[in-house]
Amino acid sequence: MKKIQLGAAPVQVCQMPLGAMWFGTTISPKQAFLLTDLYRSCGGDFLDTANNYSYWAGPQYAGGESERVLGDYIQTRRCRGDVFVATKMGFPKGGGKGAGLSAQTIRENIEISLRNLQTDYVDLLYMHCDDLTVAMQESFGTFDQLVREGKVRYIGVSNFMSYRLADALTLTSQNGWAVPCALQSRFSYYLPQDGRRMGNQRMLTPEHLHQCQAKNVLPVGYSVLLSGAYAMARGELPAGYQTQRNLARQAALYDLAAQKGVLPGQLVLAWALEKGVSPLISSSDASRLRENMEAADIVLSSQEMELLDRAGALA
Ligand SMILES: NC(=O)c1ccc[n+]([C@@H]2O[C@H](COP(=O)([O-])OP(=O)(O)OC[C@H]3O[C@@H](n4cnc5c(N)ncnc54)[C@H](OP(=O)(O)O)[C@@H]3O)[C@@H](O)[C@H]2O)c1
């Protein structure tokens, strides 16, 4: 895996961040250590968590489990300087706590995250979602103060509409504040069925990708493998994606993967990378995580990209 520039931030990070969402809940701390060791041994340094991961895994969880496992990992391995830690805030934790992006909530949340991660700074702090009830001046102004105080190095946003990202970029640059250098949103090769409910999750649309390129913001994609959907048999599609268009995309993807001697899921990760999107990778299993990292070695020609992109297109 190679390193890439983190948008406008003067720093390089691994092109495929490691998603730590299930660390400490469905993935045991022991397995999380093994997976993170493996990721780092392949050149990975970009660890992705959030302050609410993963309270929904069961009634015994409240959020913060993933951050705490990563904190233990960093302490045990004494690797704080070698890893780039991203966390997020804004979504509710268990019991609806900690939601929103008011100055007070941000201040409370950052102290908890720093404690969980056993560090005095976060490399990248994302707004996990937009908060339309708080003025952008307040939330981005407070994020900027955290950067000035040395608690945060760089800032990012997640699940933002493109016009809100545009507003945030203008506001922060006009004020000389920390500018968002990454946009993390949902992104995959199959396209969601019309009307599929996404809750507060938002897609990385072609418009977002154009915006990111024009404004030097790194697009980071999550749920790229759609919970293992690209390992399904031909003709099978996950719920919310069962369309003729996705069947056509599946045929193109599976045929090209067979031709190239790679797995369809690996091809999706390589396709995302070729589009300039950094795909988050995650698995509970070491050999599947390794397969995902190996996708970085797949070379796709412009004809192959066009074949994949045109599959299922209406015209
Ligand atoms: N910003 C946001 O709002 C947001 C939302 C969701 C997630 N995220 C971030 O994105 C990360 C990834 O999210 P995700 O879990 O939704 O991603 P995903 O792309 O759906 O990947 C994980 C899933 O794919 C399966 N998988 C992984 N590698 C595989 C392989 N080689 N073959 C077959 N199946 C495979 C895993 O199952 P096994 O464990 O069985 O391998 C798991 O179900 C999270 O950890 C989190 O950091 C961010």
- For the chain, list the domains and their CATH numbers: 3-231+276-281 (3.20.20.100)
pLDDT of residue 199: 85
pLDDT of residue 295: 98
Residues 6+ apart with CB under 8 A from 41: none
pLDDT of residue 315: 56
Phi/psi of residue 168, nearest 5 degrees: -65, -40
The region that residue 23 occupies, defined by phi over 0 for left and psi between -120 and 50 for alpha, beta otherwise, is beta
Q: Of 157, 208, 207, 202, nearest to 178 (Cα)?
A: 157
pLDDT of residue 57: 97
Minimum-distance ligand 1 atom for the alpha carbon of 129: 3
Residues 46/11, Cβ–Cβ less than 8 Å: no
Residues 81/118, Cβ–Cβ less than 8 Å: no
210-229 burial, b at 16+ Cβ within 10 Å, e below that, comes to ebbeebebbbbbbbbbbeeb
**Angle of helix 264-274 versus helix 302-310 axis, rounded to 10:** 110
Give the residues of the chain that fall short of pLDDT 50.
Answer: none
How far apart are the CA of 227 and the centre of ligand 1, in A?
6
Q: Whose CA is nearest to atom 48 of ligand 1?
A: 222
* Ligand 1, CB within 6 Å, residue ranges: 19-21, 48, 128, 158-159, 184, 201, 222-228, 231, 265, 280, 282-285, 288, 291-292
Tokens found for residue 164:
């809100």
Tokens found for residue 163:
């016009």
- Cα distance between residue 164 and residue 132, in whole Å: 10
How far apart are the CA of 133 and the centre of ligand 1, in A?
30
What pLDDT digit, counting tens, does each position of 223-250 carry? 999 999 999 999 999 999 999 999 999 9
Minimum-distance ligand 1 atom for the alpha carbon of 20: 45
How far apart are the CA of 225 and the centre of ligand 1, in A?
6
Give the rounded distance of the alpha carbon of 239 from its chain centre: 22
How far apart are the CA of 175 and the centre of ligand 1, in A?
37
pLDDT of residue 125: 98
Helix (H) or strand (E) holding 297: none
How far apart are the CA of 140 and the centre of ligand 1, in A?
29
What radius of gyration do the chain's Cα atoms show? 19
Give alpha helix (H) positions in 42-158: 65-77, 103-117, 136-148
Phi/psi of residue 125, nearest 5 degrees: -110, 120
Tokens found for residue 139:
């939330």
